[in-house]
Amino acid sequence: MKKILTVIGARPQFIKASVVSHALAKRPDEIEEVLLHTGQHFDANMSSIFFDQLSIPKPRFQLDIHGGTHGQMTARMLESIERIILDEKPDRVLVYGDTNSTLAGALAAIKLHVPVAHIEAGLRSFNMQMPEEVNRILTDNVSDLLFCPTETAIKNLEREGFCSKPITMLNVGDVMQDAALFFAQNASATIESKPKGDFALATLHRAENTDDENRLRSIINALNHIHKNIAPVLLPVHPRTRAAIQRLGVELEISVIDPVGYLEMIDLLQSCSLVLTDSGGLQKEAFFFRKPCITMRDQTEWVELVEIKANTLAGADEEQIIKSARQSFGSTIQVAHSPYGEGFASEKIASCLAK
Ligand code: UDP
């Protein structure tokens, strides 16, 4: 029996963990999973709603660590996670993605000589200004089991010399695709504020956009223009973005709602005619539901989607965002097969972790 301590803390990690924890739970004789929630995301609509909707087991350890600088947050997590690892003595620590919770979990484990498995390994934006890029590179480098979602991720690791290290890296496909397909088929929810006709779905929360006044202003101008001239724009707004917009004092003319649960999000994705986002997860989800996507960033880790023209990189350039929205609104994405696997990533991960 292997004991796995899974460290999660932010919204996308709850969604990814929902399918992986489910796959691990199907192996009760081989794996015991202990969940640790750092508390990085803590609002009900950023955290508990996902545990309720997606039937994620209640974390055995619930920390309350959020806010402060990156250093402060990561340091506090490191200290608490270390204590839990010493008490629980897991055989392995499992982390997801690229948040401060990811890095703190990985670092606490490796310093205690506990092996680390990283889900969503090998992704790169090649922009070290992004906190996520720093977190994912450091986490990959202390992991010995690297579960990559794409061939591109494998190639990134090969280029960084991972082939010559005593590690295992596998292209298992994308766990977010597993989640999107599973919950689209097995659960449904809708929200009253969903526009009746065609609309564009937007999300915005990356620090590079929310913490830069010029970029934020330019993106909001573009969204306002699209709302007035192309189709209504619906923005479930991230708490960080809401605060940044208030600080900036810029007027939002689009429809703004509080963050929604994952099932509502799937309904919005299925109903919309365009996705505008700076989220990593949303770029792929747009593709899973074959909706065109405009990414309001200068780089993306999901380059496959740009190559097959399912995704347009528009940066924070107002004109470029509007032009791309005009071009792609309502278009359909046609591809023979998904670059993200066949929807069995979590099963493959569970089987590998059981060995
Ligand atoms: N999401 C959600 N409700 C929202 C906004 C996003 O459930 O109001 C989901 C979205 O569908 C995706 C995930 O949250 O699965 C993406 O998380 P986020 O954009 O916060 O992080 P990123 O993917 O950029 O790391």
Distance 335 CA to ligand 1 centre (A): 24
Fold of 2-174+341-354: Rossmann fold (3.40.50)
Ligand 1 atom with the smallest distance to the CA of 98 is 25
pTM for this entry = 0.96
pLDDT digits (tens, 9 = 90+) for 194-209: 999 999 999 999 999 9
pLDDT digits (tens, 9 = 90+) for 41-61: 999 999 999 999 999 999 999
Distance 282 CA to ligand 1 centre (A): 6
State whether residue 272 is helix, strand or coil.
coil
Domains 2-174+341-354 and 200-328 share a fold: yes
Residues belonging to the active site = 205
CA 307 to CA 319: how far, in whole Å? 22
* pLDDT score for 299: 96
Beta strands in the chain (DSSP E): 2-8, 31-37, 61-62, 92-96, 116-119, 145-148, 168-171, 200-203, 233-236, 255-257, 274-277, 293-295, 311-313
Distance 324 CA to ligand 1 centre (A): 22
State whether residue 312 is helix, strand or coil.
strand
Residues in the chain with pLDDT values less than 50: none
Which residue type sits at 30?
E
* pLDDT score for 336: 84
* pLDDT score for 337: 86
Ligand 1 atom with the smallest distance to the CA of 269 is 11
* CATH numeric code, 200-328: 3.40.50.2000
* pLDDT score for 186: 85
Ligand 1 atom with the smallest distance to the CA of 277 is 19
Query: If you average pLDDT over every residue of the chain, what do you get?
Result: 96
The protein residue with its alpha carbon nearest to ligand 1, atom 12, reads: 281
Write out the DSSP string of 157-201.
HHHTTGGGSS-EEEE---HHHHHHHHHHHH-----TTS-SS--EE
The protein residue with its alpha carbon nearest to ligand 1, atom 17, reads: 12
- Are the CB atoms for 250 and 305 separated by under 8 Å? no
**Mutate-to-test residue for ligand 1 from 279, 285, 295, 297, highest number of ligand atoms within 8 A of CB:** 279
Domain ranges of the chain: 2-174+341-354, 200-328
